[in-house]
Structure 1
C-alpha cells in the first residue's frame, strides 16, 4: 500500500463530538499534533461499538500523550450524533466522529470497500502530518486500544530519540536498540 511515511492529504469533514455538536475538521487542525484516525465500517453495528468503547477507555491516556482521536465511518455526522444519543456505550465517548458520507477520507487512506463502507483500519499521524502507523483487520476482528497506545508511545520515543528503535513488545521505559553492524545477526 505504500502509505507509511506518506503525508496526509488535505481533507475537510464534518464531525460530531460530545459538547461541541457539529464542526469541520481539516488537516490544518492536526498540524503539529499526533492524531489517530480510527476507521470502522458503520454506526449501529456489532464489533464497532466494542472497539470504540475500548478506544474511549484509552482516550484520556491518549490526550495526555498529546494525541487527538477521530472515529471515522462513511456514515454522516447526523448518524454519529443519533448513535451517540441512543447508545449507552457510544454516548460515553468524548472523541470526535468524522462523517465521511462522500467517501473522500476513506479513499485518501485507501480503506474504502466496494460496498461503500470503510475497512476496520487505524492510522497514526505524527505532528508533521506523516503516517507512522497503520493497522487494518478483517471484518470480524476487533482492535486493541492498549496495543495502539503502546505503539504510539514507541513511535513518539523513536521520533524524540533519533538513532534508537523499539524492539518487539517494547514498553515505555524498556531497553531500546541502536541499530549498527555490531547487532546484525546477534539479536
Structure 2
C-alpha cells in the first residue's frame, strides 16, 4: 500500500473526459492537488452512485484547485460507453482514467489480482505528488464525496499551516490544534 508522505510513481494512461479520449501522466498532477478514486468496474452497481456523488461535488473541488480522477481497470472505450449510457455517470465532467494493464492500480496497491478489478481506494495527492490521504475499503461500501471534500480541505489546511493539526470532525473554519508540550494531557 502506498504510504502517507510517499510520492506517486510515474505513469501514463489513456482516459476519457468530456467527450474526448486523452492521455494523462504524472506530469499532469504537478503543481496542484489531485484526488484519484479507484472503483471496481464500469457498468456495476455501487460505482455509478459514487461517480455521480463525486460529480455532484465537482465544482466545490474545482474551487479548491483540486483535479478529480476516477480510475478502474476498464478501457477508455468502456468509460465512454458507460458515460454515454448511464444518467448517473453522464454527469461526470472529471477525467476517467483507464488501466487495462493494471499497472497503475498495482502501483497504488488496490488491485484484486483474482478479479482484475480495483478495490474502492481514494488517494489525495498534494501539488508535489505526495500522498496525503489514503482510504481503502471493501467493494460493498460506497464512499461519500462530502466527507472526501472535508478531508481535502483538512489536508490543504495543514499543508498551509505547519505546526497545526485538524481534530476529529474538523470542518473548514473550525478550531485546529497546535501540538505542544503544554497541550499533552489537556484534551
Aligned residue pairs: how many?
A: 186
TM-score, L = length of structure 1: 0.98
1:39 aligns with 2:4: no
Deviation of 1:182 after TM superposition, in Å, equals 1.1
| Corresponding position of 2:55 | 56
| CA deviation string 1:4-60 (max 9, x = no partner) | 1100100000110114x1110000011011000000000000000011111111110
Cα deviation, 1:125-163, whole Å, max 9, x if unaligned, reads: 000100000111111100010000000000000000111
Report the counterpart of residue 147 of structure 1 in structure 2. 147
Dislocated runs of 4+, deviation >4 Å: none
**2:118: which partner in 1?**
118
TM superposition shift of 1:186: 1.4
What residue is the counterpart of 2:4 in the other structure?
4
Q: Does 1:72 align with 2:95?
A: no
**Hey, what does 1:87 align to over in structure 2?**
86
For 1:2 and 1:126, the matched residues in 2 are separated by 14
Match of 1:158 in 2: 158
CA drift at 1:102: 0.3
Change (3 A) 1:181 1:32: same
Give the unaligned 5+ runs of structure 1. Answer: none
State how far apart, in whole Å, the 1-side matches of 2:81 and 2:24 are.
19
2-side partners of 1:2 and 1:72: how far apart? 16
TM-score, normalising length: structure 2: 0.98
